[in-house]
Amino acid sequence: MTEYTTNNRFSSFSFIIPALVIFAVFYLYPFFYSFALSLYEGDGISTMRFVGLNNYKTALCLDREWWRSMYNGAFITFLALTLQNILAFALALGVNKTVRTNKIYCTVFFILPVLSEIIIGLLMREILKSDPGVFNQILGKIGLGGFASNWLEGEKTALLTTALVHCWRGFGWAFVIILAGLQTIPEQLYEAARIDGANAWHKFTKITIPLLMPVLSLVFILTILGTMQVFTMILALTRGAGGLTEVPVMRIYNHLRGGRLIGYACTEGVVLGVILIAVSFVTLYISKQMRKHYGVLPN
Amino acid sequence: MRFYSKIICLIVVSVLFVSGCGKKPEQQNKLVVWHWLNDRKDALDQLAEKYTEQTGIEVEFKLFFPPDIYAQKVIAAARAGNLPDIFGILAEKLTIASFVQAGHIPNLLPYMNADYGRWKNSFYPQTLDVVSFQENNTYGAPAGIYGVPIDTAIMQFVYNKALFKKSGIDPDTPPTTINEFINYANVIRKDSHVYGFTCGWGESWMLNCLVTEWAINVMGEEKFLKTISGEIPYTDEEWIEVFSLFEKLRRSGILAPNVTALYNKESEDSFARGKAAFSFNGSWSVNVYRQLNPSLDYAFFPLPAVSTKHPVKVWGGGGSSFMVNAKSPRKEKAINFLKWITAQQQQKFLAKETNNLPAIRLSKEDLPEMLQTTIDDLGKSTHPNVWPHNEDSRVIEALNKGLQQVVMGIKTAQQIAKEIQEVNIRVSK
């Protein structure tokens, strides 16, 4: 009996060994190694000087540029959470009703997330250039020339433009996930509600939103994680626009690139990672509370 | 029984898996060179073939592009102890010092000095200075020569002669002062509907080259170096005057749109297609412009001066240099190959094929026509690798970003001077 159990356990365990090894080697080890490096100063080629938590003190208390990049990332994330996801949700609701053509819409909307971020960035840069920018010329032709602006370098426009391009690119995948979630809601529930006299608003707030809450929280978490780590599109679009559109990952990349700030770059990476983990947990907690509120989860 | 056979299987698979990670057997007659010289790839490959024919030693040039990625690859390889036989270091001098201190690159001085210094004396001294460390240097590296330059570069202004002619400006008299430069650019801009000046200022080091040249012209090299060593603040009046030049450029309206987001490749493309009157670029651009537009009529000229108090210096001397892996079993062969590639015949070939300035002294007739006058300016070159100190990369970052913001019209010269100095104080603590 004992031999059978051990054998059985070993067999079961062997199935997860590859995943465990990959997780440990490619996720856990780099994280802890980054943390270890964040306590040092130097380039990692000859000597590394132990500086304790000095890098953390600099990043958290002294480095205004770091917090500015965090603000930029948070601003883009805020627009992605609201504008991008509301648009995706609205489109998914609309497409969910058009059963015959929804595959066409899915394909069309999903083209953008499939395209490389670099391509999107370069393409939009050509369109949004101030002179002879395609977008500014279109504005002129339709009588809105007064709105023509320096979209990529203006103090008030650069970050907003970057955020909108990011949302434009990203709404497709949120749309697909939300649509998939909508299609799992049984039609009978809507039918029963209709018989009970529920109007469209009641059906939306009492059936669609509560049952979609797990999907929405997934979309929210993925949006936060994905947007706070956006980098390549911005690199191609503005190259940071002198710090106006610099985001945390771009800053980490720039510090790693020189080689001499490897410890500080790791510190920034750890700080960003911890903040994202904390935000993810908060989002999960809120989502759980909302599901309890709507009665999807027991209190 | 089945349990034990599973364990044995697992061990066998693990052993096979791990054994697959071992190093491939080294080939004694093959040298591997890592480089980033995209535009010189064919010429280098041809030289490699020729070397194999002559010596029987195979040379493989492995290209990694863009240079940013290449630079990181070399640093990562050094950290992992996995450097090839020959490689270049695209980083500040402090990083080269780290390579030296870690024992990754050998001192080539004995090889250079052999035969009464024949190899050493064949180079332009400026090209060796950037890969050398003097006695008691501030980087803490032992004195010596740690790299072999294979070409050199100078950062200068270029102008489109055809556009000059179109505006009735003598194409053989480029501007010598900043005011002349702005006037010419504005005239040509209005006459030909092109940009006055384009530059890859999205790559902030291009901005850094230009601000360095102007700073040295305005305050002199001594005061400039005193700023780097911390004796003079960036809020000094002359620094503010230097930063104000970028405000002046912006206000003049000659800058290409979104110039702070341009890659140098885009700027080169724009200038080669005749869309800009002026640009600021390295001497390597001769090859780039030739590839992009062989009929482009243009010429180089030195920095338009701001002041007559101090001489104009040009950012130059540092070109492409190769280092030898000190731990390579083929170290001697690698040095012999570098000796061969910097010999006169190979340097002539490289200069002709790639339109770059050679690292060794050649007669002017052997230089690309466009660069025959440029080589004279090598005597007035300066480069961070020959300065006694390097500025902290965080200060350079603040300076470059600040200048981008000045060009974008977001900040003033005074504001960025204050911000740069704040970073300077913070990092010097």
- Total domains present in chain A: 1
pLDDT digits (tens, 9 = 90+) for A44-75: 888 789 999 999 999 999 999 999 999 999 99
Predicted local distance difference test score (pLDDT) of residue A296? 66
**A43 located within any domain:** no
Instruction: Identify the CA nearest to A55 among candidates A270, A275, A267, A271.
Output: A267
Please work out, in degrees rounded to the nearest 5, the angle formed at the alpha carbon of residue B43 by the alpha carbons of B40 and B49. 135
Q: Is residue B20 pLDDT above 60, yes or no?
A: no
- Residue A196's CATH number: 1.10.3720.10
Confidence class for position B24, pLDDT limits 50, 70, 90:
low
Q: Is residue B25 pLDDT above 60, yes or no?
A: no
Q: Where are the beta strands (DSSP E) in B228-340?
A: 276-282, 298-301, 314-315, 321-324
CATH number of B30-153+317-374: 3.40.190.10
- Calculate mean pLDDT across residues B417-427: 94
**A164 located within any domain:** yes
Predicted local distance difference test score (pLDDT) of residue B60? 97
Confidence class for position B67, pLDDT limits 50, 70, 90:
confident
- Calculate mean pLDDT across residues B115-139: 93
**A268 located within any domain:** yes
pLDDT digits (tens, 9 = 90+) for A73-113: 999 999 999 999 999 999 999 888 766 677 787 788 888 88
Confidence class for position B23, pLDDT limits 50, 70, 90:
low
**A118 located within any domain:** yes
The average confidence (pLDDT) of chain B is 91
| Domain limits, CATH 3.40.190.10, in chain B | 30-153+317-374, 155-315+392-428
Residues of B in contact with A151 (CB under 8 A): none
Contact A233, A121 (CB under 8 A): yes
- Calculate mean pLDDT across residues B62-75: 88
How much of chain A, in percent, has pLDDT values that exceed 90?
55
How far, in whole angstroms, is CA A93 from its chain's centroid? Answer: 22
Confidence class for position B295, pLDDT limits 50, 70, 90:
very high
> Which CATH number does the domain B155-315+392-428 belong to among 3.40.190.10, 3.20.20.105, 3.30.360.10, 3.20.20.140?
3.40.190.10
**A287 located within any domain:** yes
Residues of A in contact with B257 (CB under 8 A): 129-131, 133, 150
Tell me the count of A-B CB pairs closer than 8 A.
100
Q: Is residue A141 pLDDT above 80, yes or no?
A: yes
Instruction: Identify the CA nearest to B391 among candidates B415, B347, B423.
Output: B423
Question: Domain of A238?
Answer: 62-293
- Cβ distance of B261 and A153 shorter than 8 Å: yes
- Cβ distance of B257 and A14 shorter than 8 Å: no
Confidence class for position B94, pLDDT limits 50, 70, 90:
confident
Contact B359, B367 (CB under 8 A): no
Among chain A, residues having any CB pair with chain B shorter than 8 Å are: 3, 6-7, 10-11, 14, 42-47, 58, 62, 65, 125, 129-131, 133, 150, 152-155, 237-244, 254, 256-261
Which residue of chain A comes nearest to B14, CA vs CA?
A18
**3-state SS track over chain A:** CHHHHHHHHHHHHHHHHHHHHHHHHHHHHHHHHHHHHCCEEECCCCCEEECCCHHHHHHHHHCHHHHHHHHHHHHHHHHHHHHHHHHHHHHHHHHHHCCCCHHHHHHHHHHHHHCCHHHHHHHHHHHHCCCCCHHHHHHHHCCCHHHCCCCCCCCCCHHHHHHHHHHHHHHHHHHHHHHHHHCCCCHHHHHHHHHCCCCHHHHHHHHHHHHHHHHHHHHHHHHHHHHHCCCHHHHHHCCCHHHCCCCHHHHHHHHHHHCCEHHHHHHHHHHHHHHHHHHHHHHHHHHHHHHHHCCCCCC
Substitution target from B247, B258, B423 for chain A, most A beta carbons within 10 A: B258
**A38 located within any domain:** no
Q: Are strands B314-315 and B381-382 parallel, antiparallel or unpaired?
A: parallel
ipTM strictly over 0.85?
Answer: no
pLDDT digits (tens, 9 = 90+) for B345-396: 999 999 999 888 999 998 888 887 788 878 888 888 899 989 988 898 899 9
Q: Is residue A291 pLDDT above 90, yes or no?
A: no
